[in-house]
Amino acid sequence: MRILLNLSDNARNAAGDMGSVTLSLTLASDKSDGVKPMIGRHPTLPLVILTVTDTGPGIPEAMLGQIWEQGFST
DSSP string, 23-61: EEEEEE-TTSTT--PPTT--TTSPEEEEEEEE-S----G
Sequence-distant (≥ 6) Cβ neighbours of residue 45 within 8 angstroms: none
Sequence-distant (≥ 6) Cβ neighbours of residue 10 within 8 angstroms: 73
The predicted-structure confidence for 21-54, as pLDDT tens digits, reads as follows: 999 988 876 555 666 666 677 777 777 888 888 8
How is the chain split into domains, by residue range? Answer: 1-34+43-55
Say whether pLDDT at 73 is over 80. no
Average pLDDT, the chain: 81
pLDDT at 45: 74
Burial zone of 52 (CB within 10 Å; 0-12 exposed, 13-18 middle, 19+ buried): middle
